[in-house]
Every structure is written in structure tokens, then in C-alpha cells.
Amino acid sequence: MKLNPRLTLSGLVVVALGLAALATRAQEALPSWNDGPAKQAVLDFVTATTTQGGPQFVPPEARIAAFDQDGTLWVEHPMYTQVMYCLERVPDLVKAKPELKNKPPFSTVLELLHGDRAAMEKLNMKDLEIIAAATLTGMSVESFDAEVKKWIAEAKDPRWKRSYTDLTYQPMQELMRYLRTNGYKTYIVTGGGQDFVRMYAEQTYDIPPEQVVGTAASTKYGYDKQGKPFLTKEPKLILNDNNAGKPEGIHLMIGRRPYAAFGNSTGDKQMLEYTKAGDGARLAMIVLHDDAAREYAYGPAEKLPDTKVGTFTQALYDEAKKNGWTVISMKNDWKTIFPFETK
Amino acid sequence: MKLNPRLTLSGLVVVALGLAALATRAQEALPSWNDGPAKQAVLDFVTATTTQGGPQFVPPEARIAAFDQDGTLWVEHPMYTQVMYCLERVPDLVKAKPELKNKPPFSTVLELLHGDRAAMEKLNMKDLEIIAAATLTGMSVESFDAEVKKWIAEAKDPRWKRSYTDLTYQPMQELMRYLRTNGYKTYIVTGGGQDFVRMYAEQTYDIPPEQVVGTAASTKYGYDKQGKPFLTKEPKLILNDNNAGKPEGIHLMIGRRPYAAFGNSTGDKQMLEYTKAGDGARLAMIVLHDDAAREYAYGPAEKLPDTKVGTFTQALYDEAKKNGWTVISMKNDWKTIFPFETK
């Protein structure tokens, strides 16, 4: 650093006090984080990439941070919110198309919704794909958007009896705000449906639709009887935004490599690798659900219970440790889990 | 409007002077535009959508403006810049793969580049697709980016003997800046390749990569011999961002309907329809190339010469007039065409 010759001692004191104030503000920006390596990794990364003239300074326009959603920004157990949406749309679907009522997998979903929890076991991936295609495509973008908004406003999580949008993680909300305050553009990069997540991301996370990258199907342009144009949601996949699809989706939708990425499962592995492979300071963090009391505990990494929803394998844990990703322990790193706890 | 009871006469004078100053600034913001219906349409639209409390006010986060590139923001004749790139890449391609040297369409391109202009007639759409696939895919994203940047820095337009990036339209540059000053997010929505345009859009138009929507092919995630991840450009089309593909691409990449859209050819028809079909004030403008002296003249609308590059049909002209789109006459509405004229 080249010192300004006119910099006086009193000037240096002012600078030092300014830096101390900045450090305090950084601490204050993450009140729900316990002191420890995870919080420190965030503070160090932001300092390194925003210090003008520093060796790892990143110009503001290149400051991109990518967040997985399910299990990283909000609760994903016992089942992804969007799967709940698809299942709970089936009764209306059957009303519109009565011929589906006694036909699996739709009949199985009706049994499940009527309280037969064992029926869930009968649904395989192929069934879920059929249900997804039937409930997420075939309608206009406007109809779909209205249905999702209505459902999100009414639906409740079975354990907390709260809106799904109440079940975001307070420490991650603080982290996103802290990054934005420091010039980062925050993106959601989710395996969930892009159109679905866009319906609540702005209100829930302050993330606008154009900063939501997700699994996407094509739409088809057409005209209604009055000649007014509209888009219909088609059952043709454009982007499967999971695993290798995450860096591919980031290239398609953002066009630059993120400087920071956050995930929680094997579906985020390639996004974290791709982020960390860039030059300069790069932050890769992965949330470990190790708090059965306050949220859920699952892995199977670190001998936590195995799961099919948001799997975090031991191999992924080992890769994190080897490649300098920071594992966030919900139990140890987070003072509070949900925003409603702090109110 | 509820009047503040403490508003005095002198206060009103200050407000009136302020409004007059704003109007002057708006005039000053578009110095390369002649007074007339096109300039007025822009000023009226911006006033309507940014007047707090007005009936057509648009909140800043929803202010999206979409611009076609070729023929709308810069010169597209005699041939689209990206086609020139693909053709001029053929010698290097043939050097790397000598077996292509005597094989059409590559041999035809070599004849063309050696001065046989008649060879261009031998190239059909299928040939151009083969050449595009060979020159735009198969390499890593990093290699492609470096090649495009190098070419853009060196290549010259045949008529003006200037860089292609010098041949942007000064009035459109002013229009984009004016919209951004008023809180609009400006997007390029181009039939050209998304990855190609992203390589110069930031420097040329102040539009970052994430605000370039274009024709896009998929990429494939993989690892090099050292285990470092990288993306390879694949010859599999994801989005053909032309015609109906433009509103479909806008939905995919932006997720909201633009309030303003700008085009110049049949490929922009659906984007302009889709934009104009939204509620409230919407601005749709279409550039007519009617200035053979300062740029080019082509239609075939309004009896201008016909062309296959940036076709503007009479049917499109009639639709514009019928639907309240504003036709921009390069000859009558633009005082200057290129930024270098003003220097």
C-alpha cells in the first residue's frame, strides 16, 4: 500500500477508528451467528473482496453470490415445499379431470391427503414426475402464478403450523443482507422450479424474479380468442438445475462464476466446486443439519440419520474438508434458527 | 393528490421550477434525437411510469426494458456481426482439422474469405448452421470467451473500417442511459448468441452479462486432468431467441414482462406484442432503416429495398401502426447515427 505523504498521525487514528467501526458493524450484521470458524469465514471473505486496493478485491459488478434454497435458506423436511404443492393440487386437478380420480398415481395422492400416510411409500420418482407434469404444466403462466401465490399464502408446515415462508433460516437471511450491503448480488440457484420459487422469493428473501435460477421447462407463445398473447407452461425440460445442472444453469442465466456459493446437499456439490475453482478469494459453505431439537438432523455425513431429502453424504463432507469449503453446523454456528424466534 | 396544507405559494413555485428543470434534463438526455413523435413517446412513457402517485407509476423493481441488438442497437448490414465471426473463424478451424479444408461448406467459406464474393450465394441456412456448430461449440467456455474478445478487438466493419463495437447507434445509447437514470434495468434480448454478445455488452452498452438474453445452447460440466471443473459448449439448442422465442426467453431469463421493448425486424414482433399486452403504460418502438446515406435502407416496409438480414415487412409496419407501437425513422428521428460523429 502506497502511503499518502500528507497522511498525519491524527489521520491514521481516524482511519483506525473507521476500520474498528466497520468491524463492529460486520459483527452486528450477523447477530444470529455464534462466533466461530463459519462466521469468521464470512467476515474474512467480505473484507478480502471489498477492500479497495487489496490483492483479492472484486469489482462490485462481479460480486455474485449463489444460494441453494431447500435446506440452505429454509426447511426442506419432511418433504420439499414444492412437492407438497404438487400433491395438494391433485384434488383440484381431479375435479377438473374426473377420469384421473381412480387412476394411480393420482388415486394414491388422494389416499395420502385423506390421512393414509403409508400411501407415500407407494409413490416412486416416476409417479412424482407424472404428478409434477400434471400440476406444473399445461396452464398459462398467469394461472400458474396465481395458484402458487394463493397456495403459499394459505399452506402450513405440518410441524410448526406456520407458513412455509416463515420457515427461513434467520442466520442465512442476515448473511444475504450482509452480502448485499457489501455490493453482492444474491441469486437463488435451486433444484426447485424456477417459476414456483419466483412467486415468493422477492417477498421472502428480497430476491427479485430475475435472480432466481431453477429447474425450468419451456413455455409456448400463443394468442387467446381476443388475439391477446400469452405463454403456456410446457412439459419440456430446459434446465435440470441440480448437480452438474447448477453450474450449467449459472452459466446460462448469470453468465459469470459466483464468488460465493452456499448449499447443503449432494445436489450442490458441482456448484460449490465450480465456485471454488475460480481465481482469488472464493467462499464455499455447506449447511449441515445436525440439530434435531431445533430443526432436523440428517446426513448421513458424520453419522447423522440417512435421508432421501437433502442428502449430505460423508463423501461430500470429506470433499468439503479437503477443498476448503466451510461446513456450517446448525447446532453450533447458529444462535437462532427462525426469524419468528427473534420477534 | 392530497395537498400538504403547509405548502405555500413560494413552495409551489419551487416545485414548478423543479418540474421545469426535470423536463429540461429529459430534453438534454436525448440530444441526438430530433423533436417529434418518437422522442415524445419516450419522454411521455418515462414521465408516466416514474411519477410517484400517478396512475401509471411503475415501482422501480418492475422497470424492465428489453432491446433487440442487431439493427436496433448497432449495424446489422451487410451481415450480422456474429456470422462474420463464424466465417472468419474457419481458417483457424481448418488449420486444427485439415480434413475440413476441401469439404463444403468450409471450402466455400475459404473461397469467400479469399475474395470470391459470389461464394456467399452458395451458402444456405443449413451450411450456416454447420459452420455455427463448428465454430461456436465443442470448446470450453473460457476458450470461446477469449477467442471472441480477441476477434472483437481486431475485426473491422467493411464499410466504415471501424470496430463493430464503434457502430452502435448514438440515439439508442442515450435512450438506454436515460431509461437507466430513471430506474429501468436495461436488457438485451437478441437472436444472436447469448455467450457471444455477453463478451462485449458490458463495455459497449454498460449491460452486464446477466442482462443479456440470447440464443443459447447447453453447456456440459466436466473436469480437466488436474480435476479442475470446467464447462464445455455443446451443440444442443436450449433457446432460439427469435420470434416467439423472445417472449419465451424473457420469461425464462427475466421472469417479468418488460414495460418497454425495442426492435427493428419481424424477429421482434412477438416481443413487442407481449410487452404491449401488459397493463398500464407500455412502450413498444421499432427502428425503420430508411437512411441509405448515413446507414442503410431496407424493409421491404414502406417500399424500402427488401432484405433477408433484419427484414421489416409491410405487415409488421401495419401492425405497429394498429397497435400503438412507435416507428423510429432513422432518417427523420435521429440527428446523429454513431457515437464517433459526435466526437
Using one digit for the tens of pLDDT, what is the confidence trace for A162-197? 999 999 999 999 999 999 999 999 999 999 999 999
- Element of type H or E holding B205: helix B194-205
pLDDT value, residue A4: 46
User: Rounded to an integer, what distance in angstroms lies between the CA atom of residue A176 and that of residue A170?
Assistant: 10
pLDDT of amino acid A333: 98
* B116 touches B123 (CB < 8 A): no
Residue among A281, A274, A324, A283 nearest A51 (CA): A281
Provide the pLDDT for residue A99: 95
My answer on whether omega of the bond before A105 falls inside 30° of 0, hence cis, is yes
Considering only the beta carbons, identify the residue of B141, B238, B247 that sits closest to A231.
B247
- Residue A335 reports pLDDT greater than 50: yes
pLDDT for B17 equals: 54
How many Cα atoms within 13 Å fall on the side-chain side of residue B340? 10
- How confident is the model at residue B11, as a pLDDT? 54
* Smallest CA–CA distance from A217 into chain B, residue: B252
Q: Give A100-134 pLDDT, tens digit per residue.
A: 999 999 999 999 999 887 887 888 989 999 999 99
Q: What is the pLDDT of residues A61-76, one digit of tens each?
A: 999 999 999 999 999 9
What are B121-129's contacts with CB under 8 Å, separation 24+?
B128/B83, B128/B86
Chain B residues lying within 8 Å of A239, measured CB to CB: 238
> Is the pLDDT reported for residue A331 higher than 70?
yes
The nearest CA of chain A is from the CA of B140 a distance in Å of 12
Contact between chains at A231 and B239 (C-beta distance less than 8 A)? no
Which chain B residues are closer than 8 Å to A196 by Cβ?
A: none
A112 vs A90: CA distance, rounded Å:
11
Q: Give the distance from residue A275's alpha carbon to the nearest chain B alpha carbon, in angstroms.
A: 9
Hey, is the C-beta of A233 within 8 angstroms of any chain B C-beta?
no
- Tell me how far the alpha carbon of residue B271 is from its chain's centroid: 12
- Smallest Cα–Cα separation from A247: which of B236, B140, B199, B221? B221
pLDDT of residue B4: 46
Which of B63, B206, B207, B210 is most worth mutating to test chain A (most A CB atoms within 10 A of its CB)? B210
Q: Which three cell numbers stand for residue B218?
A: 447447453
Distance from A247 to chain B by nearest Cα, in Å? 7
Please give the C-alpha separations between residue A202 and each of A256, A339, B46, B62, B236, in angstroms, as whole numbers: 22, 16, 24, 11, 32
Predicted local distance difference test score (pLDDT) of residue A2? 43
Using CB atoms, pick whichever of B229, B239, B251 lies closest to residue A273: B229
Name residue B239's beta-bridge partners: B216
- Strand pairing of A229-239 and A64-67? unpaired
Residue A116 pLDDT: 82
Q: Which residues in chain B are closer than 8 Å to A219, comparing Cβ atoms?
A: 248, 251-252
Question: Are residues A257 and B142 in contact, defined by beta-carbon separation less than 8 angstroms?
Answer: no
Q: B221 and A141: CB-CB below 8 Å?
A: no
- The C-alpha atoms of residue B60 and residue B63 are separated, in whole angstroms, by 5
Which helix (H) or strand (E) is B208 found in, with range?
Answer: none
A248–B238 CB contact, under 8 Å? no
What's the mean pLDDT in A80-99? 96
Which residues have CB under 8 Å from A280's CB, separation 6+? A49, A56, A58, A259
Chain segment A242-299, per-residue pLDDT in tens: 999 999 999 999 999 999 999 999 999 999 999 999 999 999 999 999 999 999 999 9
The answer to whether the CB atoms of A256 and B195 lie below 8 A apart is no
pLDDT at position A299: 97
Evaluate the CA torsion angle B248, B254, B255, B258 in order and state its sign.
Answer: negative
pLDDT of residue A22: 58
Rounded to whole angstroms, the Cα distance separating A167 from A332 reads 19
Is the previous residue joined to B209 through a cis bond, with omega within 30 degrees of 0?
A: no
Residue-by-residue DSSP string for A88-140: HHHHHHHHH-GGGTTSTTHHHHHHHHTT-GGGGGG--HHHHHHHHHHHHSSSB
Nearest to A221 among B229, B231, B270 (CB): B270
Angle CA(B153)–CA(B245)–CA(B65) in degrees, nearest 5? 65
Q: Does A194 touch chain B (CB under 8 A)?
A: yes
Q: Does B141 touch chain A (CB under 8 A)?
A: yes
In the predicted model, residues of chain B with pLDDT beneath 70 are 1-27
Beta-carbon pairs below 8 A across chains A and B: 87
In chain B, beta strands by DSSP E: 64-67, 185-193, 212-223, 229-239, 260-263, 283-288, 326-329
Mark A262-292 as b/e (b = at least 16 C-beta within 10 Å).
bbbbebbbbbbbbbbbeeebbbbbbbbbbbe
d(C-alpha B73, C-alpha B258), whole Å? 17
User: Are residues B305 and B299 in contact, defined by beta-carbon separation less than 8 angstroms?
Assistant: yes
Q: What is the pLDDT of residues A7-51, one digit of tens each?
A: 455 555 555 555 555 555 666 889 999 999 999 999 999 999 999
Cell numbers at residue B18, please? 423543479
**Which chain A residues are closer than 8 Å to B215 by Cβ?**
none
Of residues A328, A343, A271, the one with CA closest to residue A295: A328
Which chain B residue's Cα is nearest to A221? B244
pLDDT score recorded for residue A118? 80
Give CA–CA dist B175/A40, Å, rounded: 45
Task: Select from A254, A273, A274 the Cβ nearest to the Cβ of B210.
Answer: A254
Residues of chain A in contact with residue B255, where contact means CB-CB under 8 angstroms, are 194-195, 198, 209-210, 212
CA distance B233 to chain A (A): 10
Min Cα distance A331 → chain B (Å) is: 32
DSSP state of B56: T
Contact assessment for residue A230 and residue A142, using Cβ atoms and an 8 Å cutoff: yes
* pLDDT tier for residue A5 given thresholds of 50, 70 and 90: very low
CB contact under 8 A, B221 and A270: yes
Q: Is A136 exposed, middle or buried (0-12, 13-18, 19+ CB in 10 A)?
A: buried
CA–CA separation, A148 vs A146, rounded Å? 6
pLDDT on residue B1: 40
A282 Rama sector, left if φ>0, alpha if ψ -120 to 50, beta otherwise: beta
With contacts defined as CB-CB under 8 Å, which chain B residues touch A61?
202, 208
